[in-house]
Amino acid sequence: MSQNDTFTASSPGKFILLGEHSVVYGKPAVALAINRRFRCSVRRNSVNTLNGMTLDTNIHPHIGYILRANKINGVAISTESGLPSSSGLGSSAALSSSLSAAIKAMKGEEGDRRVIADEAFNAEYEAQGRASPLDASCCTFGKGIAINCSESVGKEIWSVSKGDNGWRISEVAVPKMTFVVGYTGVRARTGPLVEKVRKYKEHNRFASDIVDEIGKITLDGVDAMSRGNVEELGSIMTQDHKLLSILGVSCNELNKLVNASLKYSYGAKLTGSGGGGSMIALTDEPEKVCNTIILHGGLPFIVETGVPGVTVE
């Protein structure tokens, strides 16, 4: 291995099927990895750079965290993303996860996925001020990830806690289903939306009940998915969208795409932190959903789910 060797790793993006926001408070959630990846290459260098420019860790706090966690100073990083940033599709978790894996490869380390997921989670936690390990786990382990669901759902892969909240992360089997993602084109940062829900929940009993209700219907959704009942799962997704709207994290652009897609879908909802970003629709008429998303101002793509997690290339 020479000093100039380049090490590359990639991680999948993800969408949250059910349970965003309430998972921050330790409620159940499910996320599925998608066939759009974030790729990170690293090589030792005299200074830290990102895509040829001096790295500013104030602008890229996730990168700053991963470099500190790995005690690395002096690296040239280049990135290539199949995921729009701030789109609710896990670009920051996929960046942290692939960067962590590439750096470990550069250091000649094995790269235990639990360590990578933990670093990616802590990067999110520090950058957002509050976070769950859902995105970090899904972008690292790939396939389907369930948090705080019953033990019968799948094998536990890791667990973590912060303050009053604890998360048990398990694999979940992903049956063949067709999803369309609709990107609103509106970039929305996760931190402020997580903070908005925290304030609402802390000052309002009703908001706290909505967070609990999202957790309950997520368990019903996981059960419907395990039985392959797409009608039931879709209707729970649409219900989840309504609850998230009550929490104040939807927006006109998302509601427009969700409502338009419902005509050709089993169900549809915003995915991720909301406020813009993307929605998903569960459907067996993907072309019709794509067309209606375009007609309503969004950018659609049909996604494959259940894809592999972080990979050193």
Give whole-number Cα distances, 210 to 5, 19, 55, 242, in Å.
Answer: 51, 11, 41, 10
User: Based on CB atoms, which residue is closest to ligand MEV, 100 or 132?
Assistant: 132
Shortest distance, CB of residue 190 to ligand MEV, whole angstroms? 5
89 closest CA partner among 149, 20, 158, 41: 20
Burial code (b: 16+ CB inside 10 Å, e: under 16) for 33-57 equals bbebbbbbbbbbeeebbbeeeebee
**3 state SS for 9-71:** EEEEEEEEEECCCHHHHCCCEEEEEEEEEEEEEEEECCCCEECCEECCCCCCHHHHHHHHHCC
Instruction: Tokens for 191, please give them.
Output: 């931190």
User: Based on CB atoms, which residue is closest to ligand MEV, 20 or 118?
Assistant: 20
User: Based on CB atoms, which residue is closest to ligand MEV, 42 or 119?
Assistant: 119
Shortest distance, CB of residue 133 to ligand MEV, whole angstroms? 8
User: Based on CB atoms, which residue is closest to ligand MEV, 9 or 16?
Assistant: 16
Residues of this chain that interact with ligand MEV (CB under 6 A) are 16, 20-21, 23-24, 124, 131-132, 134-135, 190, 194, 272-273
With beta carbons less than 8 A apart as the criterion, state whether 69 and 119 touch: yes
User: Based on CB atoms, which residue is closest to ligand MEV, 23 or 72?
Assistant: 23
Shortest distance, CB of residue 19 to ligand MEV, whole angstroms? 8
Shortest distance, CB of residue 14 to ligand MEV, whole angstroms? 8
Q: Quote the CA–CA distance of 53 and 76 in Å, as a whole number.
A: 9
User: Based on CB atoms, which residue is closest to ligand MEV, 87 or 178?
Assistant: 87
Shortest distance, CB of residue 195 to ligand MEV, whole angstroms? 11
Q: Quote the CA–CA distance of 221 and 218 in Å, as a whole number.
A: 5
Residue 93, phi then psi, degrees to nearest 5: -70, -40
Shortest distance, CB of residue 16 to ligand MEV, whole angstroms? 6
